A = this chain, B = another copy of it.
Amino acid sequence: METRELRYFIAVAEESHVGRAAQRLGMAQPPLSRAIARLERRIGAHLFIRSPRGMTLTSAGQTLLREGRAALAAVEAAERRTRRTIAAAGRASVVLTAKAGASSELMAELLDAYAAEPDAVDVEVVLSPPGHQGPMLRDGRADVAILHQPFDDISGFDVDRLNVEGQVLILPADHPVSRVTSLTVAEATSIPDLPLPRWPRLDGTYPDGPGPELRDLTQVLQLVRLGRAAIVMPESARVNVRDGLAVVPVSDAARVTTVIAWPPQSVSSGVAGLVRTASRLYGAPHDRPTAAGTERGPGT
């Protein structure tokens, strides 16, 4: 199966409509119809059920959509990382991504400590909105990421745990709720005049709702100070708190685990060094030994 066929299939599956998919792909409808039919013949299974209202996936089609998306991301990651290997003109380099404003102390320490290593390479830090780090790691726009469980999906990555902490509500200092000593999640998310902010989806659009549209945490804190929003975040964000802000622990909020994550194949020397440094500074011993792969034993 060629990646072009996979791209075509995914477009049709997502649109449930050959015409719209063709438009999205910048081609005419008939060749796309034929390409899908050819793919079905080659695989030996019907992927779609044709109806006069469009195309719906069969169970085989659902399998191919799930697995195909991951496979296509892997191919694109391979291509992107290859291109980046030489973009640095002989000088190796690593792209690290993290939520804007998150774990800032930890990251500063990590980058300083890594830069002091003898074999350190350049680290390009890409800050992006919450939820965008995993996809960037999957499709090769980044080589290593700082993620936060349970918010980020770490499945398929190798990880080292760095930190565990509780969460707090940050709100305007003059708000009446700021005087309580503790809150529940239900209470924190339902303060009527302080909506929680909304974050962009992967395509850059925003979900509907009452809160303001934001892209990073400095914007949030500004809005909170102006009395226009409140936000629940890990305790470590206290370091960003200045005058005009109040902090209230949220007793039953999920504990947040900060991890450093990397794609399992990509054991470039830069990534390995960063992970080693992070593990030395914060880590428990690895819970998933990464280099066990080549070892072969008698087995059980």
Contacts and interface: CB of A to CB of B under 8 A. Distances in A.
B45 A86 contact: yes
A24 B231 CA distance: 59
A17 to B, nearest CB: 21
Contacts of A237: 300
Interface size class of A (residues with CB under 8 A): 35 or more
A58 B89 CA distance: 12
B59 A70 contact: no
A156 B61 CA distance: 24
Contact of A298 (B69, B79, B130, B159): B130
A67 B77 contact: yes
A54 interface: no
Nearest to A129: B299
Chain copies in the assembled complex = 2
A218 interface: no
Nearest to A68: B78
A83 interface: yes
B154 A288 contact: yes
A6 interface: yes
B158 A156 contact: yes
Interface string A120-137: 000000000011001000
A151 B299 contact: yes
A289 interface: yes
A300 B79 contact: no
A82 interface: yes
Q: Which 5 A-B pairs have the closest CB atoms?
A: A153-B293, A130-B299, A67-B78, A155-B264, A156-B264
Given A1-B78, A233-B298, 8 more contacts: A45-B82, A68-B78, A71-B71, A99-B299, A149-B289, A150-B289, A150-B297, A199-B298
